[in-house]
Each structure stands twice: as C-alpha cells, then as structure tokens.
Amino acid sequence: MAANTLIQKLKNVGPGALVAAGFIGPGTVTTCTVSGASYGYTLLWALLFATIATILFQEMAARIGIITQQGLGENIRQRITQPALRMLAIVVVILAIFVGNIAYETGNVTGSVMGLQAFADIPSMPAIIVIALLGFVFLWIGSYKLVEGILTAIVVFMGVVFFVTALASPVNWGEVVHGMFVPALPDSSLTKGVSPVLIAAGLVGTTVVPYNLFLHASGASERFKDPSQVADARFDAVLSIGLGGVISMAILVCAAANIHGSGIAVTNGKDMAAALSPLLGGWATCMVGLGLLAAGFSSVITASLSAAYAVNGVLGWNAKLKDVKFKLIWLIVLASGCIMAVMLGKSPTQLILTAQAANALLLPVMAFFVLVCANAADLGSFRNHVFSNIAGVVIIFITLFIAYKNLSAFVASVMKLIS
C-alpha cells in the first residue's frame, strides 16, 4: 500500500517540477558559478535559505490555486475588497511583475546569447535578434510547449551532470557543511570580484522567483481539482523544488572545487565550463553552452507568458492565449528584455547577476500577497497554520534585510552596466 501511494504521488509530480525547471535557468548557472568561483563554499547558506523559502511559498501558492481553482492574480484581486487598497495592490503587483520579469527576461536573453557564443564567436546583436524572433514565433503560434519540454530536459540533464561532477571533484565537504549552515559574507577585496552581497541576493532571487508563484498557483489549479490532493501537491513541491535546490548547490560546489583559487574570472560560458572539465574534459564547453542556450530560451518563453498570466489575473481580464491583450503583455516583456540585453549586454555575467538581484528586491512584495491570500477565511482548514505564518513572516523579514543590504550594491552594479 505504501509503495502504491508513493508511486501515485510520483505520478502527480508536475507543477512543482515546472517551478524547479523555471528557476534552474541561465541566472542560476551563472550566479552559482560566479559565487563558487569567487568565494568558494561561503555562500551556500543563501541557497539553502532560498530553497526552503521557495518550498514554503510555492506550497502556499499551490494550495491557494487548488482550493480556489483560480490563479494567484485572481486571488489578490478578490481578497482585497477595499477599492483604494485593491487599486494600490494591482498597481504594485503589475509594477513588480513587469520590473521583475523584464529584468529576468534580460538575463534569459543574455544567457541564451552566452550559450550561442560558447559554440562560436557570434556578435551579440545578431544573436539577440535570432532569440527574439524565435521567442516571438513560438509565443505567437502557441507551439512553445513541445520546445519547452525538450529544452527543459536538456537543462535537467545538465543539472545531473553538475551533480555527478560535484561528486567526482576534489570537494572539501567540511567547508561545504560550514558554508551551508554558518551564514557569512566574505570580503570582496580578497578576490576583487563581484560584491558578495549582490551574489547572495542573486542566489536568493534566482531561486525564489516571484513569477513562479503565479505559475504554480495556475498550474496546481489545472492539475489538482480536489482539496484532498493538497497533500500530493505538497509532496510535488517539496520533492521537485528540493531537487532543484540540490542541483543549484551542485553547480556552486563544482565551481568552488574546480575554479576557486585558479585565477579564472568567470565572464562567459567558456569560463563556466571549467567547473565541468573534470568529468567532461573538452566537451564541457559544449555542455555549458547547450545548457545556457536551452535554459535561457525556455525561460524567455515562460517569463513572458507568466507576466501575461499575472497581469491578466490581477486585472480580471479573463483573456485567452490568442487574445490581443494577452499577447500585448508578453510582447512588451519580450521586447523590453531584448532591448535591455542590447543596451547593457557588454558585461553578460554582471548583467545576469544584477537581474537576479532585482528579483530579490521584489520578492518581499510578492511574498506578502501570498501570505494574505493563504490566510483567507474561505480556505477553511486549508488556510495557513501558525507554523506557516511564522515561517513566512521570518522569511519576509530576512529577504527585506537582504534587500536592504543589497540595495547599494545593486545600484552600483546598475551604474556600472550603464556607464
């Protein structure tokens, strides 16, 4: 009976896996690699915190979607009944989604370009145009699902390769444990690298992705129709996101074991390949290039769609995929991401790190709205319990603190990209 129950739960894995595949994108590969290469195992605690926070809030989003059979945007609109507060909430959500998704889309496009450039010396502008046109075509005709599935499989395969490489690398497991459970910010002057505060915020922002909260609520409402399936959705979230967190940690550990202290400054996909060289040798560059391209392009599509779903829900449009209003939202996000990639793409790793840090700044806002919806009285016995509320509030305060500490480094990074 227990075996059958486990098999049934595994069959219901889906929305959580989509979330995990969503956050293991070019931002994760880049941020984790730069973190490990620059500061060794020191910032593993940020990934552990981010993974726990993701599981907690994505479980809330899934539960909200299952019980209400609506997306998170619709829930936010309905839960806040006072007209002025509702309008303020709608404006805040739309701004956060647009700013966050455009920043994330910029990183996705840049990651795709880095993937292409790992194979050949292609100028950035033509590569961005190709990515933009392909993204537009797949979004317009709605044939993105098969492509997304193929690209996600490539990304997952690359994650497994990182995990196996981590096990085969000369890892200092004592330092791994210390870095995971003893929070610390290293001195950036020791490596003359990217600000450790910016990287820590990026590790959080690339894992607890705000738009994934909207994706998970909608995906869970479509997959699970009965409140009794909340337990299956919770299992899905813990298993899928937990494995995603392990893969992210494996990427950081690979870079720490194989790049840290070597003098290599990670600026492109070829530099990242050094983390996989113990296992793949000369094939490492091809694997990283393919992974960055697949992760970037699949995220180009999902980030654009997620913004459209979120705005559609919070404004109460009830627009369909083929509706002009729906298409207009994803078109704005896609075009803005490509334009920003052209304008700021002279330092791709810096750009991707900054984009992830922007998500960390916006995260407390989205987490607050999830907490509000998860405590709605009409959820009955499925509303948040005391533990979930306490944990949620603690996570919000920690992310606010990280955002506060990150603000000056974020502004400095943006100014560096602009100058």
Q: Tell me: the pLDDT tens digits for 213-224?
A: 988 898 888 888
Quick one: residue 303, left, alpha or beta (phi over 0 = left, psi -120 to 50 = alpha)? Answer: alpha
Q: Which residues contact 55 (CB under 8 A, 6 or more apart)?
A: 237, 238, 241, 242
The pLDDT of residue 227: 92
CA distance readout (Å), 149 to 114, 141, 366: 21, 16, 27
Other Cβ atoms less than 10 A from the Cβ of 227: the count is 14
- pLDDT tens digits along 231-288: 999 998 999 899 889 989 998 999 999 888 877 777 777 778 777 777 777 778 887 8
pLDDT at 226 over 60: yes
At 192 the pLDDT is 57
The CA distances from residue 399 to 75, 125, 203, 213, 244, in Å, are 23, 35, 12, 16, 20
The per-residue pLDDT for 147 is 60
Proportion of the chain above pLDDT 70, given as a percent: 92
Tell me the mean pLDDT in the region 311-325.
82
Residue 346's Cβ-count burial label (10 Å; 0-12, 13-18, 19+) is exposed
The residue ranking higher by pLDDT, 254 or 322, is 254
155-165 pLDDT, tens digit per residue, is: 677 778 888 88
Q: Environment class of residue 335 by beta-carbon count within 10 Å: exposed (0-12), middle (13-18) or buried (19+)?
A: middle
- Quote the pLDDT of residue 386: 95
Report yes or no: 22 and 248 within 8 Å, Cβ to Cβ: no
Which pLDDT value is given to residue 190?
A: 57
Beta carbons of 242 and 20 less than 8 angstroms apart:
no
Residue 1 buriedness (CB in 10 A; 0-12 / 13-18 / 19+): exposed
- Confidence at 1, pLDDT banded by 50, 70, 90: very low
Confirm if 34 and 353 have CB atoms less than 8 A apart. Answer: yes
DSSP 266: -
Model confidence at 149, pLDDT cuts 50, 70, 90, reads low
The one-letter amino acid code at 333 reads V
Q: For tokens 């810096």, name the residue.
A: 350
Per-residue confidence at 206, pLDDT binned at 50, 70, 90? confident
Residue 263 tokens, joined:
């003098």
**Whole-number pLDDT of residue 16:** 81
Q: Is the pLDDT of residue 89 over 60?
A: yes
For residue 413, how far is the Cα from the chain centroid? 20
H helix intervals, 120-227: 124-141, 144-168, 173-181, 196-205, 210-223
Tokens of 341: 């990639």
Torsion region of 80: left, alpha or beta (phi above 0 gives left; psi -120 to 50 gives alpha): beta
Q: What is the largest CA-CA distance in the chain?
A: 63
Q: Is the pLDDT of residue 303 over 90?
A: no
Cβ neighbours, 10 Å, residue 300 = 32
Q: If you search the block for the tokens 């003098």, which residue do you land on?
A: 263
Per-residue pLDDT of 95-129, as tens digits, reads 877 777 888 888 889 888 888 887 777 888 999 99
Whole-number pLDDT of residue 154: 67
How many whole angstroms separate alpha carbon 252 and alpha carbon 249? 5
Question: Residues 192-211, buried b or exposed e (16+ Cβ, 10 A)?
Answer: ebbbbbbbbbbbbbbbbbbb
**Nearest Cα to Cα of residue 179 among 47, 313, 56:** 47
- Min mean pLDDT across 64-78, 135-149, 302-316, 353-367 is at 135-149
Tell whether the model's pLDDT for residue 53 goes beyond 50.
yes
pLDDT beyond 80 at 46: yes
Distance, in Å, from the CA atom of 419 to the CA atom of 413, rounded to the nearest integer, reads 10
End-to-end CA distance of the chain: 63
Q: What is the DSSP string of 256-291?
A: HHHTTTTT----SHHHHGGGTHHHHGGGHHHHHHHH
Closest C-alpha among 48, 356, 398 to residue 202: 356
**238 C-beta neighbours (distance < 10 Å), count:** 15
Whole-prediction pTM: 0.86
Tokens of 192: 């003359």
User: Mapping DSSP to helix (H, G, I), strand (E, B) and coil, where does residue 359 land?
Assistant: helix
Residue 384 has pLDDT above 90, yes or no: yes
DSSP 8-state code for residue 1: -
